[in-house]
Structure formats: structure tokens, C-alpha cells
Amino acid sequence: MKIFSTEFMRYVVVGGATAFIYFGLVLVFVEIFGLHGVVPVSMAYITSVVFHFFSSKLFTFRTVKGNVSGQVARYLTVVALNYLVTAVTVYCLVDYLRYPTYVGAGLAIAATLVIGYGMTKFWVFQRGGIRRG
């Protein structure tokens, strides 16, 4: 696997766009609609996860067919696993080893980028999906 393949770069671009959408929506919900706390964050998170799923399916991995409900279930498993990896990484580095929070968060992003790409490519969208180009 070439780490800097075109497909991997599309995955990184989709991730960046997803982060932009997430933070943009949090800003809109807080600053324009006056929402605070978990509500705007949750609404932005759900929206960005839906965007990431479809962008990954159609743009990154170009999977045009397949059992969408199965893909969604596997994708949500990857999301849950990535959250667990993030929580454990941050706990170990920040709470236990006393690294700065930003170091823990940054290393968690790196770990979930690799895990997310591999699982999404080889598990979420591989089974029964027809790839184009």
C-alpha cells in the first residue's frame, strides 16, 4: 500500500472538509442560533459524520453499489472504534503520562487516521461494493 496514494489523499481531503463542516456548524449553531453545550456539538457531529460517510463512499473509495445498511453499520463500528482509540490515547498520554492535551489529541488523530483509512477501505466499502475508476 502506497501511503500517499491518490485515494489516501482523497481520504485526507474528505477528513479536512469534514472537520471544517463540523467546526463551521458549531460556530453557526452557537453564534447565530444561540445554542450552547452538547446540543450544537451533537448536531454538528451527526451532520459531519453523515457527510464523511457519503463522501468516503462516493468520492474517496468510489464505491457505487453494495449493501448500504451494512456499510453504515460497519462505518459506525469504525467511528466507535476510533472514539475508543482517541479516548485511550488521550487518557494514556495526557492523564497518565502528563503530556499536554494537544499532544494527546494530535497523536490520537494520527492513529485514527491510519485505522480509519484501513478499516474503511478494506472493510466498510470493500464487501459487495463495486468500485469505479
Which contacts of 16-20 are long-range, i.e. CB under 8 A and separated by 24 or more positions? 17/51, 17/55, 18/48, 18/49, 18/51, 18/52, 18/55, 19/48
What are 27-80's pLDDT values in tens digits? 999 999 999 888 998 999 999 999 999 999 999 999 988 889 999 999 999 999
User: Which cell numbers in the block locate residue 88?
Assistant: 485511550
User: Which cell numbers in the block locate residue 93?
Assistant: 498520554
| CA-only gyration radius of the chain, Å | 16
Cα 21 to Cα 90: distance, rounded to the nearest angstrom: 24
- Tell me: pLDDT of 128 over 90: no
Render 43-104 in DSSP notation, one character per residue. Answer: HHHHHHHHHHHHHIIIIIS-B--S-HHHHHHHHHHHHHHHHHHHHHHHIIIIIIT---HHHH
> With contact defined as beta carbons under 8 Å apart, do 130 and 65 qualify?
yes
- Tell me: pLDDT of 1 over 80: no
Residue that the C-alpha cell 487516521 belongs to? 113
Instruction: Give the confidence band of 101 by pLDDT, cuts at 50, 70, 90.
Output: confident
pTM, entire model: 0.84
